[in-house]
Structure 1
Amino acid sequence: MVSCPICGKSVNANRINDHIDSGCESHFENGENGGISRSSTPVSSFFKTPIAKKESTLNGTGGINGDHPTSSPSLPPALSTSTSYKKRTFAETTTTPIANTDQNGHHTPTTDQPSAAPDSPPLRKKPKLSPNAPLPERMRPHTLNDIAGQQALIGPNGLLRGLIESNTIPSLILWGPPGTGKTTIARIIASTCNSRFVEINSTSTGVGELKKLFGEARNELGLTGRKTILFCDEIHRFSRSQQDVFLGPVEKGEVTLVGATTENPSFKMQGALLSRCRVFVLEQLTPADTETILRRALAAELATTTEDSPLHTATLLSPESDELIPFLATTSTGDARTALNLLALTLSLLATDPELTLAQLKPHLTKTLLYDRAGDAHYNAISAFHKSIRGSSPDGALYYLALMLQSGEDPLYIARRMIVIASEDIGLADNSMLSLATATYTACEKVGLPEARINLAHCAVALALAPKSTRSYRGLAAAMHAVGKEEGVMGLKVPPHLCNAPTRLLKDMGVGKGYKYNPDYMGGRVKQEYLPPELEGRVFLEDDNLPGTKGVDEDLDDEEREEVLAEEEDRLGLKRKAREPGEQRRTNGAGSTGDAEGVVEGEELVLADEDF
């Protein structure tokens, strides 16, 4: 069904032209014929007088209304006697008076239907909410000014506010934590913009329904000129193949997509669709914003109760007590929906016992952790845990470990990450950490929670306090870059003396000839090249445990700065001592592949041992 651009009534999309040709008198959705009596027996259209000819007869000098002019001024221009039908925009049709027919056959403009100004948005009825609707739904704002927080987007100078007020809404994605106003903003867009609005949820809408909606939007745009705003909640739940269905309609401008998601669109949305949408980031509400919402809701709820309601005598709700609202704002962690649900629960408990104290209520007001084991919070927490260990902060490591455990994270997932940390960040500085991390994983398997949390804490603190070295990690990265990125390196042949020669034929061909078996030589030291000739002298393993390319951090205080400089001086002193003439220096144990600083002793390249 579509709305007629002239009379505004619902008409079958396939009969819209017939409806307009009839002067908006027939072909309605419910079968009404505009008040004109019809024979119960259908009459073939062959015997019907064309509408243009009928109007000419009714309004001509020799017709029934001979005193009327030949052209009815009350008829819409599109229904005049002109032989060509001219399409008009939606703004034009909203200002055109609708013709009615009285008992004498006279056409008079309709006066009881107000016409909207061309630039004014259509009047929308405020949705009637059931008294049993949840408190968050009943308290949902209806204007941008009522929304708490998000001032960067919808404040007086907010970009999104400017787009809404100018009625130039692009396809956009609203990305933010739960309870920050994504759905509310989308519905305000619907109520203020002169467009058709359709709301769907990705959990209950399939591809077939989407294609049907896009077809209706296409018909609406072609018949009335009105665009369709399609609001899709939880859009990240659509698979990438399902998201492909949006590409065509969004690209052609048949629909304006407004998506809401709590997950990072870069990870959850198809790249081609994301490139056609503008992403607006909604920030988590501050405690002050949440308090504003709660106080407004509390005042509205108390206003609907009778004077003898127990809520008016509740101690926690008295003006002298101001501990409930701040507690709820803090407990909800920036989620307005959670805060309002907790307030509703509190009011229901106080209605039965007005003397309840906050201490008695706290066990009933469970804290909601914003943690999704498959979402952003999951990856943010493990990232912060890893970086705390890398930064030698045992306090940070313990905090994020506790956060993940309290949120139900798999302890084996945390243990696996610590195995990686042991080699990536501690590495050659303390080889025992890899054994500890591996043993921690085994302990978690055998013990399980809750005791396994002790093993995890032991390992996390040990890793945080251990010295750090990324030599092996950076060395592998340099070698991987050479093999994968540098032209020709991937195809270099292994030197013949390093090749395997298990058969007599290969030995006769000289494969493996010239190889020096290190254990046969004193100290295992030999002069032998292990890299292809094209990479001779190339160094992948650097001397320093940590590169330190950015120098001393400017944010360190004076005492910490002096400590860092002293450690660096000691390191350089040990390095110089290791390279004094006459001192025994260790060559590269895998063979002389070169020195990071180009130091040469005779013909043999050496590396200083930095793992003291």
Structure 2
Amino acid sequence: MVACPICSNPVQERNINSHIDSNCIDHIEDDASAPPSKPVASFFTPSAKRATNLTTTKKEVSTPTAIATPTPLLKHALQEPAVTATNGVKRPLEQEEETKTEHDVPKRPKVNHLAKAAPLAERMRPRTLDDVCGQELVGPNGVIRGLIEQDRVPSMILWGGPGTGKTTIARLIAHTAGCRFVEINSTSSGVNECKRIFLEARNELGLTGRKTILFCDEIHRFSKSQQDVFLGPVEAGQITLIGATTENPSFKVVTALLSRCRTFTLAKLSVDDITTILQRALDAESVPPSDLLSQEFLSYLSSFADGDARTALNLLELAIDLSARPGTTPESLQKSLTQTLVYDRAGDQHYDTISALHKSVRGSDPDASLYYLARMLQSGEDPLYIARRLVVIASEDVGMADNTLLSLATATYAACQTIGMPECRINLAHATVALALAPKSTRAYRGLGAAMKALKEPGIAGLPIPIHLRNAPTRLMKEMGYGKEYKYNPNYVGGRVVQEYFPEQMLGTRFLEDRDLGTEVDPELPLPAPSEEKVEVAGEPAEEEEMLLDGDAGVDAVREASGEQHELPEMQAQRQGGEEDYGEVDDNIWTEEDYLANSCSQ
């Protein structure tokens, strides 16, 4: 008879497993029904416990945290051997060791070869939360530290760049909170392994009351269907999930899982933080002082690493080995540490850099545009990806201000396909500078946006096409009147006819604005310097260049100054005696005054 570790009720020893599996309901024994006494065990009649140990087979246990305890027979076999003293009395080996003289040779200390073979970045992992450098979340007043102290560690997503301490913080959370810690990597683990861990965590929680923290590194590499396996255990509290990712969790983690976790953003480590980590590593490794490993050199490595402590420690480990070589100079040491730009072609920096290039071209800053172009090319970005964005810029930002740049951008894309790197970088620079220096117009882009916005209004997207604009490829459609009253513009003088193209409910709507750019004024712009006002002399026309810059009004003024009359094509045909054939004239055609009046009213 034993007491259940969960409900403390008396249960027969052979039924303890079945009792626990039944949620402590079955196989409960009454104390009164217990046998009054047990026969005394002898050499020929061993006790029930001893007999059970001799006959039962060892049951396999698969909990990762379980500690294998030997059976009584194995314990007896593994007991320390006794040593016979001079008086014939046996004493344990421990007492024999105490009688050793001071001349005995001490044992050689054990060497952990795995720890010795680990890189410097792994050996320098912080052991406590106080050792974590540069992350306020686990600082004295940090949010995560407060949750640990209150024993309320929630499931969370740690989002940060490489080398910011995601894995270290997850391990320290489990160690500080006293929880069982299981670590998996999405690149080598699957759904079946996760389900096995969930079952073990539930059993651990039920038997011992200890929680399990499951750390999933690179959780964004799990597909969305694989991430769904975490939903049930996280919501039920069977596990505390800590996911680490370098990607934006808004796009890489499913919404259902993201709503069950708290997202913490780990800041990029500053140069001072990384310098502190490097100095701590030098002290821990007992590196002898050297002019090559000066404070200035550590600062150089810190800025070199770009916020990645792991990269900085790896570079320091290489620098320690190189500094031990004879003839090494600071210049040769820095030259040996070849810089690799931190650029992820699939992550946020990939989109951030191309966004910076686009905005620099839009802002007509050729220098910044070339800087971001060089960053992407140096980091191995696909030149076709950059060329595609330049084609978009040619229409979105330059647009109607210079229609020739779309041809230049498409030619640049073709050049990148034909030539390839490294020569096509010159074509990309040509197109980038031309787009940055070109005048800008977003009339077409904003007009399309206005039309797309109108389609979101109820009933607008499904309006019937006017019958005279419909296609009529069959006789039945022609008999139904499709396209019957359509006026083919090229058949008319100047292509002008009276004809509506909008559905009836949208007559008079305008999407295309008259201006190329917006109307807002940046308050940070400096006030223009006062200039002398131009005094026009009565009767003297303005300069032709200034009037051309003034749009249509300038064109009319030039024509008026040169004596040329502003005539419509049909009026010119009548004046020239009708020698040119301009096609039919629509009977309902407006006069010039009607056309201008209608345009102004719209």
- Whether the TM-score (by the shorter chain) exceeds 0.5 is yes
1:283 match? 267
- 1:396-415 alignment to 2 at 5 Å? 396-415=368-387
What is the CA–CA distance in structure 2 between the aligned matches of 1:560 and 1:160, rounded to whole Å? Answer: 55
Q: Name the stretch that deviates more: 443-452 or 364-373.
A: 364-373
1:604 aligns with 2:598: yes
Distance 2:329 2:30 in 1: 77
Q: Aligned equivalents of 1:607 and 1:335: distance in 2? A: 62
- The verdict on how the C-alpha distance between 1:482 and 1:322 changes in structure 2, with shifts beyond 3 A counting, is same
Any unmatched runs of 5+ in structure 2?
18-27, 41-111, 532-545, 569-592
- SS, match of residue 508 in structure 2: coil
Matching of residues 310-329 of structure 1 within 5 Å:
311-312=288-289, 314-317=290-293, 321-329=294-302
1:293 aligned onto 2:277: yes
**Aligned match for 2:132, one of 147, 150, 154:** 147
Distance 2:530 2:209 in 1: 68
Does residue 440 of structure 1 match 2:391?
no
* 8 Å contact from structure 1 (residues 18, 27) kept in 2: no
Who is 2:119 aligned against? Answer: 134
SS at match of 1:490: coil
Work out the CA distance in 1 between the residues paired with 2:226 and 2:311.
31
CA distance, structure 1, for counterparts of residue 279 and residue 14 of structure 2: 53
1:602, 1:328 → 2: CA distance?
70
**Could you state the TM-score of these two structures normalised by the residue count of structure 2?**
0.72
Output the CA distance in 2 between the equivalents of 1:265 and 1:495: 48
For the residue of structure 1 that corresponds to 2:183, the secondary structure is strand
Hey, what does 1:343 align to over in structure 2? Answer: 316
The corresponding residue for 1:466 is 438
Structure 2 CA distance for aligned equivalents of residues 191 and 535 of structure 1 = 68
Query: Which SS does the other structure have where 1:198 is aligned?
Result: strand
Say which SS state the counterpart of residue 417 (structure 1) adopts.
helix
Partner Cα distance (2:194, 2:237) in 1? 15
Q: State the Cα distance separating 1:55 from its structure 2 match.
A: 9.1
CA distance in 2, matches of 1:416, 1:205: 37
**Equivalence for 1:431:** 403
CA contact (8 A) 1:328 1:339 kept: yes
Q: Which residue in 2 is equivalent to 1:69?
A: none
Encode CA deviations 1:456-497: one digit per residue, 9 max, x unaligned: 0110111111111111111112222223x1222222222122
Cα–Cα, structure 1 residues 26 and 18, in superposed 2: closer, same or farther, change >3 Å? Answer: farther
Does 1:553 pair with 2:522?
yes
Report the equivalent of 2:488: 517
Q: Which residue in the other structure is 1:178 paired with?
A: 162
CA contact (8 A) 1:427 1:470 kept: yes
SS of the residue corresponding to residue 260 of structure 1 reads: strand
SS of the aligned residue for 2:324 comes to helix
Contact between 2:158 and 2:242, CA under 8 Å: does it hold in 1? yes
State the TM-score, normalized to the length of structure 1.
Answer: 0.71
- Structure of greater Rg: 2
Amino acid at match of 1:518: N
Q: Could you report, residue by residue, the CA deviation over 1:157-189 in whole angstroms, capped at 9, with x for unpaired residues?
A: 221221122221111000000001111111110
Confirm or deny: 8 A CA contact 1:495 1:532 kept in the other structure.
yes
AA matched with 2:180: R
Task: For residue 351 of structure 1, report the CA deviation from its aligned partner.
Answer: 2.4
The separation in 2 between residues aligned to 1:220 and 1:600, in whole angstroms, is 87
Distance 1:528 1:249, change over 3 A: same
Contact 1:315 1:356 in 2 (8 A): no
Tell me, what secondary structure is at the counterpart of 1:500?
coil
Instruction: Evaluate the alpha carbon distance shift between residue 494 and residue 262 of structure 1 in structure 2; reply closer, same or farther with a 3 A threshold.
Output: same
Distance 1:289 1:382 in 2: 29
1:527 aligns to 2:501 (yes or no): no
Structure 2 CA distance for partners of 1:574 and 1:136, relative to 1, 3 Å: same
Which shifted more, 230-239 or 489-498? 489-498
Shift of 1:449: 0.7
Q: 1:591 aligns to what?
A: none
Give the aligned residue type for 1:447. Answer: I
Q: Which residue of 2 is the match for residue 160 of structure 1? A: 144
Does the aligned pair in 1 maintain the 2:6–2:207 contact within 8 Å? no
Aligned counterparts of 1:188 and 1:560: Cα–Cα separation in 2: 62
Partner of 1:334: 307
Residue 21 (structure 1) shift: 6.1
Q: Residue 380 of structure 1: CA displacement?
A: 1.1
Matching residue's letter, 1:359 = E
Tell me, yes or no, if the aligned pair for 1:578 and 1:585 is still in contact at 8 Å.
Answer: no
| CA RMSD after TM alignment | 3.7
1:496 is aligned, of 467, 478, 487, to 467
**Residues 518, 524 of structure 1: 8 Å contact kept:** yes
Are the counterparts in 1 of residues 547 and 555 from structure 2 also a CA contact under 8 Å? no
Whether the 8 Å CA contact 1:475–1:542 is kept in 2: the answer is: yes
Q: Is the 8 A contact 1:19 1:27 kept in 2?
A: no
Residues 319-376 of structure 1: per-residue CA shift (max 9 Å, x gap): xx433101111111110000000000111112233x4122111232121322121111
How far 1:447 moved relative to its partner? 1.1
Unaligned runs of 5+ in 1: 1-5, 7-14, 29-48, 65-126, 306-310, 563-568, 587-598
Q: In structure 2, give the amino acid aligned to 1:517.
A: Y
Cα offset, 1:259, TM superposition: 0.7
Alpha carbons 1:552, 1:561 under 8 Å: kept = no
Query: Aligned AA for 1:552?
Result: V
Query: Residues of 1 paired with 2:285 and 2:511: CA distance?
Result: 69
Superposed CA deviations along residues 374-395 of structure 1, whole A, max 9, x for unmatched, are 1111111111111111111111
- Deviations along 1:103-131, one digit per CA (max 9) or x if unpaired, are xxxxxxxxxxxxxxxxxxxxxxxx99712
SS at match of 1:199: strand
Cα displacement (A) at 1:516 = 2.2
Aligned-pair CA distance for 1:542? 1.3
CA contact (8 A) 1:315 1:357 kept: no
Structure-2 separation of matches of 1:403 and 1:289:
25
Partner in structure 1 of residue 334 of structure 2: 362
Please give the alpha-carbon distance, in whole angstroms, between the structure 2 residues aligned to 1:316 and 1:285.
Answer: 24
Deviation at residue 221 of structure 1 after TM alignment: 1.8
Shift of 1:20: 9.4
The equivalent of 1:452 in structure 2 is: 424
Instruction: Report if the CA contact (8 A) 1:433-1:463 is conserved.
Output: yes
Aligned to 2:85: none
> Do 1:497 and 1:511's aligned partners in 2 also have CA atoms closer than 8 Å?
yes
Instruction: Give yes or no for contact 1:501–1:507 (8 Å, CA) kept in 2.
Output: yes
The one of 216, 220, 223 equivalent to 1:239 is 223
Instruction: Work out whether 1:390 is the aligned partner of 2:362.
Output: yes
Q: Is the 8 A contact 1:195 1:226 kept in 2?
A: yes
Cα displacement string for residues 178-222 of structure 1 (whole angstroms, at most 9, x for unaligned residues):
001111111110111032221111111110000000011111222
* Other-structure match for 2:92: none
Amino acid at match of 1:134: P
Contact 1:173 1:258 in 2 (8 A): yes
Following superposition, the deviation at residue 522 of structure 1 comes to 2.3
For each residue in 1:406-441, what CA deviation from the matched residue of structure 2 results, as whole angstroms up to 9, or x when unmatched? 111110111011111111111111111100000001
